[in-house]
Structure 1
Amino acid sequence: MGILIWHDLSRNISLTASLYAVWAGLWGIFFRKFFWDFIGGILRAPGGLQPSPKAAVFITVIVKYPILQAITMILGFIMVALEYPAPILKGTSVHRSFGLRVVLLTIQASVAIFFYQGTNAALWSLIAAMTYIRALTLGETIEGFKGDTHCH
């Protein structure tokens, strides 16, 4: 049996989470609902659960204007460009940085958790960030590319 290479596992989880974040952001634009609307909501007989008036900021940035969905999609595209990697980033120090990936995945999770469709992307982004932290603590590195297309 081989040795688990944590940054390869992290890369696969991150790619999945980031592509899911882009997909969730797209669906979140068409079906606007913020995830935490049940906290402090008012249950009405005709109309169901109405969000609390204290959630006006979430209604503005998720329901009225899909700002968080757009930010999630942009972060997802950036992460896909880092993980795949884009030809302009291949072999650069930005591409080899685990710390940058942990920060971007944490921000992606923090933004995606607020709208309903982004909760799974947020969960998997946090898992990818944790596995990158594990790779960092084990001292794993991504070497520069010398013509091949695989990380070492």
Structure 2
Amino acid sequence: MGVLVWNELSRYVSLTASAYAVWASFWGMFFRKFFWDFVGGILRNPGGIQCVHISPISWAFVLMSRRPSPRARVFITVIVKVPFIQIMTTIVGFFILALEWPLRPVKGTRFHRSIPLRIFLLAFQAILALLFYQGTNASLWSLIAAVFYIRALTLGESIGPWKEQRGTVGQV
């Protein structure tokens, strides 16, 4: 049997998580909702601030108007009013994709071979993606990829220099 190469496994999980984070941030720009809005009140774009409350007498859904917590004002500003968190998640996701599926200018550089940089970027992406509603799955998979990279570091794995495959067409 072979030996599991943890940095390759984490590379594939990181590619998937970053692609999903970019996709979720695009959806988050159109449907702006932050993940923790159920604490104070539900914020919806066409309907304003709403809260769904179950009546203890008839078990019917009653729509009640309630203002969100003043502590959520920061989240409302950077996620709902101006999609700053979604834009930052898109930028970080594209940067991780450029590292994991290396672009030509990034191939073989110190940044491309740095596992701690990838752990930091994945943790940052996980924090950003957790703040808006559509990015929670991307956040979870980014954390899983970061844990896999940490396991690769503890086992002493490294990403070697990029090797060009040189050969002629049709040669086996």
What letter matches 2:119 in structure 1?
V
2:130 to 106, 113, 117: 113
Q: Match for residue 136 of structure 1?
A: 153
1:125 to 133, 137, 142: 142
Structure 2: runs of 5+ lacking an equivalent: 42-49, 53-61, 167-172
1:78 to 79, 95, 104: 95
- Determine if contact 2:40/2:67 at 8 Å carries over to the other structure: no
Higher helix share: 1
- Determine if contact 1:37/1:52 at 8 Å carries over to the other structure: no
Q: CA deviation at 1:54?
A: 2.2
User: Which deviates more from structure 2 when the two are superposed, residues 118-127 or residues 36-45?
Assistant: 36-45
1:43-54 equivalences in 2 (<5 Å) = 43=51, 45-46=62-63, 51-54=68-71
1:56-75 equivalences in 2 (<5 Å) = 56-75=73-92
Paired with 2:28 and 2:128, the residues of 1 have a C-alpha distance of 12
1:102 to 119, 131, 135: 119
Q: Match for residue 27 of structure 1?
A: 27
Task: Write out per-residue CA displacement over residues 74-111 of structure 1, whole angstroms, 9 at most, x where no aligned residue.
Answer: 00000000000111111111100000000000000011
What letter matches 2:68 in structure 1?
P
The structure-2 alpha-carbon separation of the partners of 1:49 and 1:13, relative to structure 1 and needing over 3 Å to count, comes to farther
Aligned residue pairs total 149
Q: CA deviation at 1:2?
A: 1.1
Q: Match for residue 37 of structure 2?
A: 37
TM-score by length of 2: 0.81
1:92 to 96, 109, 116: 109
1:3 aligns with 2:3: yes
TM-score by length of 1: 0.92
- What percent identity do the matched residue pairs reach? 60
Q: Match for residue 15 of structure 1?
A: 15
Paired with 1:13 and 1:48, the residues of 2 have a C-alpha distance of 42
Asked which structure has the greater CA Rg, the reply is 2
